[in-house]
Amino acid sequence: MDITDGANMKQHQNMKMIVRLTRTKFRPMAFSLVVGCISLVSAAKASPTNTPPTAPTGYQWQLVPVASAATNVAPAAPATPPGPGVTGRHAHESFWKRFEDANLEALGTPACPNPSYMPAPPTGTNAPSTRRGNPAPFDAPPYPNGEWQIGGTETIGDQNLTPDYPLMQAIYDGPNGQAWRDSRIKIYGWEDFSGNISTSHATGVNPLNGQAANFPVGYDQRPNDVEQNQIVLYVERTPDENQVDHADWGFRMSALYGLDYRYMISRGWDSDQLLKKNDFTGFDSPMMYADLYIPQVADGLNLTLGRIISEADIEAQLAPNNLMSSHSLLYTYDPYCQWGLFGTLKLNKNWIVQAGISAGNDVTPWEVQDPGCQPTGSVMFQYQSDNNKFSFYGGANAFNNATWGFNNIQQYVGTLTYKFNERWWTSHETWYMYQENCPGQTGGPGSTAANPVPVGASDEPVGQGTPAYGGYQGYTDGQIPVHPGYADEWATLNYTMYRLGPNIFLTFRNELFDDNDGNRTGYATLYSEHSIGLTWWPSSLITVRPEIRYDRAYGTHGTAIDPVDEAKPFDNGSRRQQVVASIDIIYHF
């Protein structure tokens, strides 16, 4: 990497100016915007890594996979292995000086420093192994995860080393750095903000569902706006699941503030900010769990107790875990989090099985007045091919008696992922979900367009909406179905990725989502969505993701019995289709 003295000095001056300003004047949002924008310029000047060097004659384009933890672990730059040589370097300096220097150093570091179209450096025959089983199939970064899709567990067979971001590096460089490194406890996080331009323009919220005009697009509901999506802090310890000598343990505590809390709230866990106030910015802690790794059972058993992100899906609520800035409709409307005990057993290098018991989808174990708060099972499995080109992950993500509740949907899901070569890979997910004994927006005795009569749910407390649309029926994490009784939906989604260079790739996303009864969006209609996005890491700390998406609904217009125009869910119920151009920037710390 060529870095001129002038560019390096300019980058250093810019970052010192930012640190001085943020200590005295700027609030967190302004800090995020300034750091993100100036760092992009600085990093781009100092480290033009978006264009790969020409491969030497005789070498193929091939990228070295970097091990990354499972779906529910935030990915990023390669982790620094333990060692006394990288601790206590600046013990005599203040924490803030160490933090500033760590940011400057990381901003000049490429996100993927060792693409293997260049020959990999020799490791020596006596180098310790850091992984059992197949190698990680993908580089992370630039991809959000290096592993085949699986949720609710750390990677059995891997050391599960997470990156050393500036906050943690500043701690390591301090007087107690070695003790922190030996403990394997890490503190890190990120800031994610975004902006969008939309063909929808309505202000306020749709009285049918309490959502803003871009809805059902997730997560940036408010059109033509800049959003504070999420600022996140993790405190965690990851178990070493490569070794087979002894049991190991881990944990994760997370804290999140921003718009995106709306898509992860659990009823009974500070949920009034959404369910009663409908706040567009709030707080949540989507992951709070402990891990126990037992190597003596088969190829390894991992037990997780607490609140986890639902095991299924290509995507996740946390911004760095996603291939694009926005979310698919498939992901936006299935279960988010579950509270319970979950086991993951690795049988061999090809097969993993999972089983768990939870209190239900997006509901705390003590929210007993909710019919969806009941013992809920999950059974999933993963298969990896011998050639490490193919994986399938699927099963029953949530099943119980299916009685209408806050989010008591039953979900059966499967994802097939195939890696064609080091440039192209694809992942395809399909699910079917349903609830029974549902209330309805209309269908009550004497229901007409002028006087829609909803069907109530007597066992639910007061909830959202207006009386005309059943405001007394009780809040649901989806929406009140159009008609009472059995409500189901299905979706199928494809992601296809093309790698342009070591730290940049394109994503093509296409999906169909049929909300047959309006149980998820409030509109009983088939949707299609088509998007293209770019993910670029100008440095190891920054991710930039511009995209453009087109959504369309194919429903029918309202009738005398069903006054809702099912063909027009966008722009607060006035448009059949919508185009949104958006961009988000993630800054890791």
Say yes or no: 100 and 241 in one domain: no
Q: In angstroms, rounded to a whole number, what is the distance separating the alpha carbons of residues 175 and 481?
A: 59
Token pair for residue 371? Answer: 């019919």
Q: 154 with 253, same domain?
A: no
Q: Using alpha carbons, list the distances in angstroms from residue 540 to 31, 136, 588.
A: 19, 19, 8
Q: Based on the structure, what is the number of domains in the chain?
A: 2
Residue 105 and residue 89 in one domain: yes
Give pLDDT tens digits for 37-49. Answer: 334 433 333 333 3
Residues in the chain with pLDDT values less than 70:
1-86, 115-129, 443-476, 558-564
Query: SS3 of 30, please?
Result: helix
In a domain, residue 126? The reply is no
Does one domain contain both 172 and 191? no
Distance between CA atoms of 251 and 160, rounded to whole angstroms? 12
CA torsion sign for 27, 32, 33, 36 is positive
Residue 499 lies in a domain: yes
* Residues 150 and 196 both lie in one domain: no
Cα 16 from chain centre: 32
Which of residues 182, 198, 222 is at a domain's end?
A: 182
Does residue 125 form part of some domain? no
Share of the chain above pLDDT 90, in %: 65
Over the range 167-179, which residues count as b (16 or more CB within 10 Å of their CB) and which as e? bbbbbbbbeebee
Residues 495 and 518 in one domain: yes
**What pLDDT, on a 0 to 100 scale, did the predictor assign at position 559?**
63
SS3 state of residue 532: strand
Nearest-angstrom CA–CA distance, 377 and 344: 14
In a domain, 122, yes or no: no
Q: What is the pLDDT of residue 278?
A: 87
Q: How far apart are CA 212 and CA 227, in angstroms?
A: 13
pTM of the model: 0.82
Whether residue 314 is found in the same domain as residue 213: yes
Is 251 within a domain?
yes
pLDDT of residue 210: 81
Among 145, 164, 182, give the residue marking a domain's end. 182
The pLDDT score that the predictor gives to residue 555 is 87
Q: Both 577 and 497 in a single domain?
A: yes
Is 128 part of any domain?
no
Structural domain harbouring 27: 5-50+62-117+133-182
Looking at the structure, do residues 74 and 110 belong to the same domain, yes or no?
A: yes
* CATH number of the CATH domain containing 202: 2.40.160.10
195 with 176, same domain: the answer is: no
CA dihedral sign of residues 572, 574, 578, 582: negative
Q: Give the pLDDT of residue 103.
A: 95
Cα–Cα distance between 488 and 516 in angstroms, integer?
Answer: 6
Structure-block tokens of residue 453: 């009569």
**Residue among 343, 339, 269, 285 nearest 317 (CA):** 285
Q: Tell me: do 215 and 242 sit in the same domain.
A: yes
Q: Is residue 9 part of a domain?
A: yes
| Residues 211 and 153 occupy one common structural domain | no
> What's the confidence (pLDDT) of residue 312?
93
d(CA 108, CA 15): 11
In a domain, 123, yes or no: no
DSSP secondary-structure letter at 107?
H
Instruction: Look at residues 362, 369, 159 and name the one whose alpha carbon lies nearest to residue 266.
Output: 362
